[in-house]
Amino acid sequence: MHQVTNPLQACNDIFFKPNGVFHAIGEKDNWSWLPFFIVTIMAALPAYLYFNAVDISWYQDMVISNQYGELSPAEQDQYRQGMTRTAMTAFALIGTVVGLLVINAIIAVYLNLVSRNDEDCVHGFTDWFGFTWWTGMPVVVNSLIAVVLLLVADGYQIDPVTLAPLSLAFILGADMSSDWFGLLQTIRLDIIWSVYLTMVGVRQWTRFSNQKSAVIAIIPLAVILGIWLLAIIL
């Protein structure tokens, strides 16, 4: 098997040779701090750049028109007053970091529970929590593309879907007012990549078959997509 000797190498190899990475981090301690910082910084960077560049008046009008169009002018003004550049930047940064921590903790609990079906698996919650930062590394690709798109944007009226260029919402040009927008924005190539890495990692850390590892990896995303579909249908 491909040998991984340090966390820097692991951060590179996770994209190309993930089996060796998961084998290494299963035996090494404290390697997951590096992807933790990389994932959180890279996930937050596009939002930071976006809200410091976008025409905030245009952004306010677009969001209010799409999401609060049924409200009275006075109620819309209240929302507009709260959507300052500083407030939106802070909300985006804090929301990204807290969201990642909560979601990864939930996934770690889930993986810890399902891995108990393998009597030989010695990994606990903290191991799986560290594991999630490695599987989240594909967000770096999405963020780098988003940063490039922001830097070359023509003007300052930039559609927020630009922050997720690997999503179906961006690829298909979905309108923010569409009932399907949230679902399409959730279906992202980097998230599918993360599901694949989860499958590889579960297979590496347990004695589960490829098929069972794939099912375990797919379930969280399937649940999220199912919730979105129910919200649209109902």
Give every CB contact of residue 111 below 8 A, 6+ residues apart in sequence: 128, 131, 132, 198, 202, 216
Domain-embedded: residue 120: yes
* Domain that residue 184 falls in: 7-233
pLDDT (tens digit per residue) in 16-28: 999 999 999 999 9
Domain-embedded: residue 15: yes
Give every CB contact of residue 190 below 8 A, 6+ residues apart in sequence: 138, 139, 141, 142, 166
Domain-embedded: residue 52: yes
pLDDT of residue 139: 98
Calculate the CA 28 to chain-centre distance. 25
Domain-embedded: residue 36: yes
Residue type, position 50, single letter: Y
Domain-embedded: residue 1: no
Domain-embedded: residue 74: yes
Closest CA to 141 of 167, 174, 113: 167
Q: pLDDT (tens digit, 0 to 9) for every residue of the chain, 234 residues total?
A: 679 999 999 999 999 999 999 999 999 989 999 999 999 999 999 999 999 999 999 999 999 988 887 888 888 899 899 999 999 999 999 999 999 999 999 999 999 999 999 999 999 999 999 999 999 999 999 999 999 999 999 999 999 999 999 999 999 999 888 889 999 999 999 999 999 999 999 999 999 999 999 999 999 999 999 999 998 988
pTM (predicted TM-score):
0.94
pLDDT (tens digit per residue) in 147-188: 999 999 999 999 999 999 999 999 999 988 888 999 999 999
Q: Which residues pair with 167 in a beta bridge?
A: 188
**How many CA atoms does the CB half-sphere of 154 hold within 13 Å?**
0
Domain-embedded: residue 75: yes
Torsion 2-209-193-29 (CA) sign: negative
Domain-embedded: residue 38: yes
The count of structural domains within the chain is: 1
